A and B are shown apart, each in its own frame.
Chain A
């Protein structure tokens, strides 16, 4: 009896092992921790359940720069993953690495997966496509910047909580009233460069750099010292001096300042909502980001942040088939809707957006739809479809350093932005030389 049981166990184990071996494993390195990581694992599990040929194995590799560094090192050592999640500022570095990556459009057509680039939202995919419209990487988690208002603080200051400021002039006026009512921090921001330089430029339809923000070639140059940029940054510096604006730091430190109630108005990612919902003990609203009403045509549309999935080179054709199947699976409207509603990231296809709308989700959570509306406010122009600057990790640091010099009163806006352009261009030239 015992022997029989044992043999049965062994046979079934062997069967399972055989089964597992026949499956083709697809390695996927990502940077989604906590609840987001669970949602991502859920996607992979679902894919592994609906088909048996391939098995997607997600691995958390630390923060965005960490997983990118790990993948680069792995590529150099000859064992890169099949798929890698890369943050938006790493896009130019990835796309220049010809041979190390395979464009998503090519993966899909080679595997004969149904793939219609027009099904995707243009502001989302434009960021990750070449000039001919070929999708280079697969937009996975996309967010954008929103404007948050603490309604209770507005009431206290005698402001109408249902009339959030639409323009920067109104923001300043509201901030003054909030300060007069004794509020310690009328306005703050997260991600200063992304919000006040990159999205600011797109929202006002002015270029961040020449050559269509770098889409048109490596010989691009920054143009963020234009009169409009100088005007905006000096306005922030002025607000900072008067105690209307509190600088929080280079990443998402502003989130906590808003959700704790310390700051009354806040520019932050769509991703900040989960935290505010959890920690905020006040009524709040989510709104379009403010604009300067003396700029013609503003507001245009905002641009995305977040990350996309890159397919790495040098793998077997049957493995690419699995990758293509998985990406097609990720594009399914129901999967997109699931991801969109659980994480707060925007959907990447029109069908997923329509489906979510029909489901009535936006009636409960209007903020989730507002992000999509802001991204698709107008058809994107050359200035507002995104940006593509080489080594923008360093470029962003330069911009943030110079912004800090302005907010702390060390430099005036004009010379600081001139320096940001000068130092940023040196980085671009270095990248151009290395990627000729």
Chain B
């Protein structure tokens, strides 16, 4: 069954997509081109002197072992954020889908965190986990855990992952819930009559039918972890301790905005852009094959 809308007019479809294309060009392509242009230049902060230096900015980056380390940190961070973000929200969505009474209230509460800005989410979690005054720290100390993310890199990573995941769960939850509601009840009932346990019904019917949603969320969550999480990092660890939470996008922000090093920062964003393009292509070519629409 294929749905197709046919426009009689030749220009109307173009006119309808024109605003979207204009926005994309002005806010995406134009800045991206500028970033590429700046990445080949060496400039002082005020733009008074600039010289073309070819690939020198890129060479400097890859010579810096800390920048290369930042790749590992970013990879770990985005895998953790995407995995936990998707897993937890899938669990919550399946639960909320079965609730009979007060379903609306549960759903509203679960969607709520999405309205919180990343920086605010970061500050909230940083307060809860603050090394000397945080409530969670207090509880953890009671259990004999030495909680100090100011100095312990792995704990700092836990903190930023928790804050970022919490922030993203609502979004994922919404999509999973919509996906679950579009699965025909008759399929599940038939399986139930055949004697399949809820666990089995989930893995053989529900999860495969949700695979387009899961795939879409995987792409979105990876992009989220790569780009949108710098607010969380800036409000909490600022990349520290050492370099333990210095993800690529935070370094772009720090070098470009805080330190006014435009060439180096642009080179980093160009690299970041290529990574995300590459990741998305890989996801569409290989992961998508396993998706059943």
Which positions in A face B, CB cutoff 8 Å?
65, 68-69, 72, 75-76, 93, 96-100, 247-250, 253, 256-257, 260, 262, 391, 393-394, 397, 400-402, 404-405, 407-408, 410, 423, 426, 430, 433-436
Q: Which of A65, A257, A393, A400 contacts B240 (CB 8 A)?
A: A400
Q: B151 near A423 (CB under 8 angstroms)?
A: no
Given A393-B259, A397-B254, A408-B153, A430:B60 Cβ within 8 A: yes
The interface residues of chain A lying within 8 Å CB-to-CB of B238 are: 250
* B44 CB to nearest chain A CB (Å): 5
Which positions in B face A, CB cutoff 8 Å?
42-49, 53, 60, 64, 66, 131-133, 150-153, 238-243, 254-255, 257-261, 263-264
The interface residues of chain A lying within 8 Å CB-to-CB of B49 are: 434-436
Residue of A nearest to B264 (CB): A430
Residue of B nearest to A257 (CB): B132
The interface residues of chain A lying within 8 Å CB-to-CB of B263 are: 434
Main secondary structure of the interface of A (DSSP, over half): helix
* B259 CB to nearest chain A CB (Å): 4
Q: Which of B45, B132, B254 contacts A93 (CB 8 A)?
A: B45
A10 to B133: give the CA distance in the assembly, Å. 59
The interface residues of chain B lying within 8 Å CB-to-CB of A97 are: 44-46, 48
Given A72-B260, A404-B242, A394:B255 Cβ within 8 A: yes
Q: A401 near B243 (CB under 8 angstroms)?
A: yes
Given A408-B241, A434-B43, A391:B261 Cβ within 8 A: yes
Q: A76 near B152 (CB under 8 angstroms)?
A: no
The interface residues of chain A lying within 8 Å CB-to-CB of B131 are: 248
Given A400-B240, A410-B242, A391:B259 Cβ within 8 A: yes
**How many residue pairs at the A-B interface have CB separations less than 8 Å?**
94
Q: B42 near A72 (CB under 8 angstroms)?
A: no
The interface residues of chain A lying within 8 Å CB-to-CB of B133 are: 256, 260
Residue of B nearest to A433 (CB): B42
Q: B151 near A65 (CB under 8 angstroms)?
A: no
Q: Can you offer 18 A-B residue contacts whose CB atoms are under 8 A?
A: A65-B258, A72-B45, A72-B260, A97-B44, A97-B45, A248-B131, A393-B258, A394-B259, A404-B242, A405-B242, A407-B151, A408-B152, A410-B153, A426-B60, A430-B42, A430-B264, A433-B42, A434-B42
The interface residues of chain B lying within 8 Å CB-to-CB of A69 are: 257-258, 260
The interface residues of chain B lying within 8 Å CB-to-CB of A423 are: 64, 66
* A105 CB to nearest chain B CB (Å): 20
A257 to B152: give the CA distance in the assembly, Å. 18
Q: B259 near A426 (CB under 8 angstroms)?
A: no
Q: Please list the 8 inter-chain residue pairs (A to B) with the smallest Cβ-Cβ separation, ordered nearest first.
A: A404-B241, A393-B259, A100-B46, A394-B259, A97-B46, A65-B258, A408-B151, A405-B242
A430 to B259: give the CA distance in the assembly, Å. 12
Given contacts A401-B242, A404-B240, 12 further A-B contacts (CB under 8 A): A76-B47, A93-B44, A93-B45, A98-B48, A100-B46, A249-B240, A404-B241, A405-B242, A408-B242, A430-B264, A434-B42, A434-B263
A100 to B260: give the CA distance in the assembly, Å. 15
Residue of B nearest to A392 (CB): B259
Q: B240 near A250 (CB under 8 angstroms)?
A: yes
Q: Which of B42, B44, B240 contacts A401 (CB 8 A)?
A: B240
Interface centre among B49, B53, B241, B257 (most CB of A within 10 A): B241
